[in-house]
Structure 1
Amino acid sequence: MGFADQRFTVNLSILFTELPLLERPAAAAAAGFTAVELWWPWPDSPTPGRSELDALRKAVQDAGVRLTGLNFYAGRLPGPDRGALSMPGEESERFRANVDVAADFAGSLGCKALNALYGNRVDGVDPAEQDALALENLVLAARAADRIGAVLLIEALNAPESPLYPLVSAPAAVGVVDKVDAATGLGNARFLMDLYHLAMNGEDLPAVIDRFAGKTGHVQIADSPGRGAPGTGSLPLEDLLDRLRKAGYDGLIGLEYKPGDRTGAAVFDWLPRAAR
């Protein structure tokens, strides 16, 4: 087995960024991919105008690719923010305003996975208060995802790059997954297993795979250190993805890595075109 036995989706918020957003789906198709995913494309607007939504929808449809994953509004990405749903006040309100907008947009393209980034800790606010707010908002998000037949993804980030983010281990993120499922009874909350973030946290990746593959709704990769393409760091990504398949994960692998000094299709030289 190996990369040739996997199925990939390209994150257009970190790759092909030398192009305007509306040109990236076609660029992914030209590079041989049939599936793409996105962070929330309007970091300053949880509720963009219909014309902006329609234009992106048309770009995806015209390119002939599938949208397989979409973030809910999460603030400025890339940038200082790590989500909005646990942030008291305006940011939480912006998240709530976005929930149905994001779900409706995803549903219009047949997208079956919505990612909800938890949000940073806030100075002077009781973490328990933030966690209660987070659960309330994640329940809303899970119900919106269920309405379109999608899963709600909850992700662990890494502590060195996101020191204020509370979910910096696989068990922490899966613990939230379990709380959301218990609160909704829907069973559609799932773990987003990002092997780069988990590696940066120093986790035992084979053990994480063996323990949590059954709760995993999506997987993303980048090499570590550096968050570059596979082969630029030291992670045995082919072996890890093989282990995931053997553990029962049969979903897509999201390519969420920094392109370095390469652009266009050259960013994917590590992956034979026939495997895309």
Structure 2
Amino acid sequence: MENRNNVTVIILLGLSQNKNIEILCFVLFLFCYIVIWMGNLLIMISIMCSLLIDQPMYFFLNYLSNLCYISPVMPELMTDLLAERKTISYNNCMTQLFIHHFLRGIKIFILTGMAYDCYTTICKCIHYTIIMSRQKCNAIIITCCTGGLIHFASQFILTIFLLLCGPNEIDHYFCDVYALLKLACTDTHEIGLLVVFNSGLIALVTFVILRASYFLILHTIRDYPAENHTKALSTCSSHITVVDLFFVTVLFIYIRPAETFLEDKSVALFYTIIAPMFNSMIYTLRNLEMRNAVRKV
């Protein structure tokens, strides 16, 4: 990745300048990282070793759990918490940025696919097996990866040709778009608007679509018998919780103009660490079928 900038090394200011706080954060995030790995590994094994893999919802969940294994943010953060000087090369910074947005784009679209499955299960139950065939599920996964690739390519075009003059410090714990725009040599107002359109608007439209689908589900099940009503709510409640936890924090960062606030680093922790950690807990503890599969494993 050719670097045409004056900036070759970027200094990350991290979460805190206090060494004691950094050590405390390292211990806390190490626990979170272990929970993420073990929780998602347990989900994947439980799904693959049971008949749940044949159900579209868990087919998508298996792919969603896979995404947590290759996240580039947490390993870099934990390494920097113990380092005296938190630096990252320009090439590694760009790589981290693009992988992060590529995976996040796929996650957004997989969550949409899971919402579509939930809607079809309850509102189109008669034709469910025809609509959500394995071929359809594979097509949805391919579409999700394509959507993530398009989002990644858009982010790549916006930032790779951005000339950075310095200073070479960014007030964040990983390379994010808004933080990098602060290092640009030229006016970045138009680029900031494109980032809002590329990241913020995609997240907002997807969140509105997801919320609308759940409104239709709740409207449909109100006339169901009490037993089916409870089962339908149980099926979707876990997914709604994951969606809200992820999208609310992403929207806080990317739906506004290209400005950075002191709260950005704290909010970013939710969609990079907290949300992935709670994903495994929510899907295993609040879902009866998942709990039964885990017990069998």
How does the TM-score come out when normalised to structure 1? 0.26
Between Structure 1 and Structure 2, the one with more helix by share is 2
Q: Which structure has the larger Rg over C-alpha atoms?
A: 2
Q: Which has the higher contact order (CA 8 A, sep 6+)?
A: 2
